[in-house]
Chain A
């Protein structure tokens, strides 16, 4: 079945550092790909998405590119802030079904 694998956490960085969180997927079709973020004490929020190969999703300085050849959707940000501290989830939604299949999440902590 479909699955998503994320880089193991937790990840701790200093403010203004470059961030990469790796995400790879396995799917039978051509899924849509998502990054969700969960801030402390809050619900899951959609951060960005990409619906087809080579699409780049972006929001709040975060970017991820849908790479079909490597089945990856790595999250990047050039300069992180303390307010980016949260848990990040990579997810896919297959063509037919609307349900989301999530990775295990990566906890990110940014120190000032």
Chain B
């Protein structure tokens, strides 16, 4: 069974530029999550989707971050414009609906200069 796929694996941008990350969850997983992991900290949830609807985006900085999950499968997370403090690893995870076990992708490491 294929795992959660993410791309790109690494991205370096200048502050005020835009960037987008892509995630393809495990087939059949209705729930998709984006987490932000700053160096030395645990992952923090940014947004949770159930199919193509948003369940929780309370921690998403909506002035600069946006996410979508069209057709309830893959998802895109965008940052526009990026700030220095956005440097982090962005993790995508998925799970079957109603279950607590999440499967994580390899992450995208973002460096903002």
Contacts and interface: CB of A to CB of B under 8 A. Distances in A.
A103 B44 CA distance: 10
Interface string B78-103: 00000000000001010100111111
Contact of B107 (A4, A43, A93, A100): A43
B106 A91 contact: no
Interface residues of B, number: 27
Given A102-B43, A104-B41, A105-B42, A44 B99 contact: no
A25 interface: no
Nearest to B45: A99
Nearest to B103: A46
A98 interface: yes
Given A43-B105, A44-B91, A44-B104, A98 B48 contact: yes
Interface centre among A4, A43, A45, A98 (most CB of B within 10 A): A98
A24 B103 CA distance: 23
Interface string B22-54: 000000000101010000111111001000000
Interface of A: 4, 32, 34, 36, 42-46, 49, 51, 89, 91, 93, 97-105
List the 8 closest pairs (A to B, CB-CB), nearest first.
Answer: A102-B42, A44-B104, A93-B100, A43-B106, A43-B104, A99-B45, A32-B100, A104-B42
